[in-house]
Amino acid sequence: MDNFATTETNQENSADTKAPEATRKVFIKTYGCQMNVYDSDRMNDALTTDGYAPTQNMEEADLVILNTCHIREKAAEKVYSELGRIRKLKEDKAKDGKQMMVSVAGCVAQAEGAEISRRAPVVDLVVGPQSYHRLPELLNRASNGSKVVETEFDIQEKFKHLATPSKEAVRKRGVTAFVTVQEGCDKFCTFCVVPYTRGAEVSRSVEQIVSETKRLAAAGVREVTLLGQNVNGWHGAGSDGREWGLGELLFELAKIDGIDRLRYTTSHPRDMDDALIAAHRDLDILMPYLHLPVQSGADSVLKAMNRKHTRDDYFRLLDRIREARPDIALSGDFIVGFPGETDQDFADTMDLIERVKYGSAFSFKFSPRPGTPGALMEDQVEEAVKSERLAALQGLLSQQQKDFNASLVGKTIDVLFEKQGRQEGQMAGRSPWLQPVHVAAPAQLFGEIASVKVVAAGANSLEGELV
């Protein structure tokens, strides 16, 4: 898997839905990618039907869930550090005669398993990404004093039993939503832990995806982002009896009333087929923004990473995509300091970035992930060299992002308004290219798409005026 298009974040549950019968409160802390955000929402949905109400205050929670990410170095240690703070809180509540249950979920849970229970006795339940639909049952077992560890792989079962959010829950989450269409990865890039924590590639059915998207549209969602560890590897039986790829699925979703914008992430260059490129050409509803990680611009590094494409393959693919959608903006992921990366290899990566000109990108120093081939490779690059290269690479990417944002000044663009801005009388939304846009506008524009003239550009956002 390539890294999802986010920096590493801690996102607390955004839902605030309370079932009338709710007597207990759950606090979910979400680390990492959009897939984890989606999974946290599904956990909230499952727990709401079991009498829990979401809270953003850990101190008042009866249940605390850490939904973890294993992509970054020392991810597990961060979890144990957080559990140390939670242990003190749980002990304080116990002194007052109150119970707090603690669960570790996500990819660290999958990777560490019973080791979490051994190192952190405060944890009552360890649950991997494929068992969230069983949360109420697993919590019931753990409430009897048993330490429960559930890390079996069964993605199809998870897809079959995902909790359905209420219209109220969807509305409180906003006018944009994620829909998981695929999980797992078969690519086995040598730096990546995902095949070991999320399992093999499994695609959700067309019926399930369309049904969920229609429910979201009925609840007021205007923009849907399709998620997968290798999202453009999605495939499923279509209504015409043929096997569809992501391109055909996007054409089908574009027919749903109320959905005005579609996006998807994260893609692999090897799975950008003709139908998907045609969708970018023919569907105005598909936003002109593509996260297409390359990771390195050096063929020797790409081979060591097991990417199974070359830099020239990537260039030729981008030529086809840009011919189909000339206004598309590219985003990517880069890893510097992969084992064996030479000065010339790094120069090749900088050359690739110069030629592509990214609208945004995410970049990281190589960090060995336990259990991956990359962790065992010789010729590990010195930390100081990694830091120097990363600084140079990020400087170039940052300038390209500023240049792209500045190129929009004076142009009129469509903005989907998602929330109130930081200033009074201001609304914030997203451009077609995913930049935040701040506009002096009435609150009534929430959930609407309006024409905005861009008057200023910052490093990460735009300012505009209503047309």
Single-letter residue type at 408: L
Query: Which residue do the tokens 């801005």 mark?
Result: 421
CATH 3.40.50.720, domain 10-154, yes or no: no
- The model's confidence at residue 132, banded by pLDDT at 50, 70 and 90, is confident
**Quick one: average pLDDT of 138-148?**
87
Lowest-pLDDT range of 95-99, 262-266, 287-291, 417-421: 95-99
- Structure confidence at residue 464 (pLDDT): 97
> What digits encode the pLDDT tens for the residues 62-104?
999 999 887 666 667 788 889 999 999 999 999 988 999 999 9
- Structure confidence at residue 45 (pLDDT): 87
Q: CA distances (Å), 150 to each of 31, 39, 108, in order?
A: 20, 16, 13
Q: Report percent pLDDT > 90 for the chain.
A: 67
Class of domain 412-466: mainly beta
Domain map (residue ranges) of the chain: 10-154, 174-286, 288-407, 412-466
Identify which of 269, 302, 270 has the alpha carbon closest to the alpha carbon of residue 374: 302
- Structure confidence at residue 271 (pLDDT): 96
Query: Which residue do the tokens 């959700």 mark?
Result: 204
pTM exceeds cut of 0.85 = no
> What digits encode the pLDDT tens for the residues 176-234?
999 999 998 999 999 998 888 888 898 999 999 999 999 999 999 999 999 999 999 99
Structure token pair of residue 229: 């560890």
Q: Which CATH architecture has domain 288-407?
A: 2-Layer Sandwich (3.30)
The topology under which CATH files domain 174-286 is: Transcription Regulator spoIIAA (3.30.750)
The reply to whether domains 174-286 and 288-407 share a CATH topology is yes
161-165: long-range pairs with CB below 8 Å, 24+:
161/133, 161/134, 162/42, 162/45, 162/133, 163/42, 163/45, 163/46, 163/48, 163/49, 163/133, 164/45, 164/215, 165/15, 165/17, 165/41, 165/42, 165/45, 165/215
- The model's confidence at residue 2, banded by pLDDT at 50, 70 and 90, is low
